[in-house]
Amino acid sequence: MGREPDVYNFSGHKIRYSYLYADASCGVVSQAIIYEVSEDTVVPLLVFDKTVIRNSQGVLFVAKPPESQGYFGWEIEINKKNRGVSCAFFANGGKSVTDGPSFFWDDVDNIYKKYEIDPSIL
């Protein structure tokens, strides 16, 4: 039997985080899902499917490691105060790391969205 998912409580919502380790010794995961359970149905909120990150509306981000290095996994952190998600992308057997995208929970649309800085304010 697999291990139980990590569980976070946010304003009455119980969010679960399940994953497959790429390398358990360093906490890097190869695939992951952040989800809720509603009436015995899994409701995906944010899915890390190898190099692709998506929500229920579609793809939010695609990582493109150098061809010579190849995909290894993600380090994913869920902010326990505001439900935000930040991640780092690993390639080259875990030897190369790059900052990944950050995601925030939109309370109006009830969905994760990619955090982006508006270039007009720079």
- The domain limits of the chain are 6-121
Q: How confident is the model at residue 2 (pLDDT cuts 50, 70, 90)?
A: low
pLDDT tens-digit series, residues 64-118: 988 889 999 999 999 988 899 999 999 999 999 999 999 999 989 999 999 987 7
| Averaged pLDDT of the chain | 90
Contact status, residue 32 vs residue 17, Cβ threshold 8 Å: yes
Q: What is the pTM of this model?
A: 0.88
Residue at token pair 């690993």? 90
Which amino acid type is present at position 83?
R
122 vs 97, residue with greater confidence = 97
Give the residues across from 61 on adjacent strands. Answer: 53
Q: How confident is the model at residue 1 (pLDDT cuts 50, 70, 90)?
A: very low
Specify burial of residue 72 (Cβ count, 10 A radius: 0-12, 13-18, 19+): buried
CB-based burial, 36-71: b 16+ in 10 Å, e otherwise: eeeeeeeeebbbbeebebbbeeeebeebebeeeeeb
How far apart CA 64 and CA 52 sit, in angstroms, is 9
| pLDDT of 42 above 60 | yes
